[in-house]
A and B are shown apart, each in its own frame.
Chain A
């Protein structure tokens, strides 16, 4: 099993880089995963990651991109709730990449 090292701690990830145990997540895990993917994390990234974690907490699923976009528009405004904006933040896909940084499983319905 692959691992990444965050603040001296070994964290298990699967072959696609997603956390094996969701409970292993802490904010620096997201920062480290972003570094590996060459994404510089800013407040805008954290807004989405925190949103995804709250969504997972409530519904126990990682939302599909379409659902994420709609929900972000409702919560954070239309200028953030569109796929162009989200893809700029997370070039490998707001569903797949943001969920990975947030420590969630790959979104259900992500094809």
Chain B
């Protein structure tokens, strides 16, 4: 079964999102949490890289962390799904393995 990857650092400050994107397989799930949620925004310098990931991976973002930082559903790239805490727990349960990119 596919791997779940979580990323929690801002892509503008650390390289962990980039590492995750380059080392995750097609069909795997990538969940952006905490400071990494800004990687889901439209019009950023990582938006192009994110669009490429959305094309063949299941990219999600934690809604509560997005709202905490002042962002809404309309601010994020098309094709990224918003999940809540319960959805996060389900994702962990549904995947065979979780890799946390710190």
Tell me if chains A and B make direct contact, with any CB pair below 8 A: no
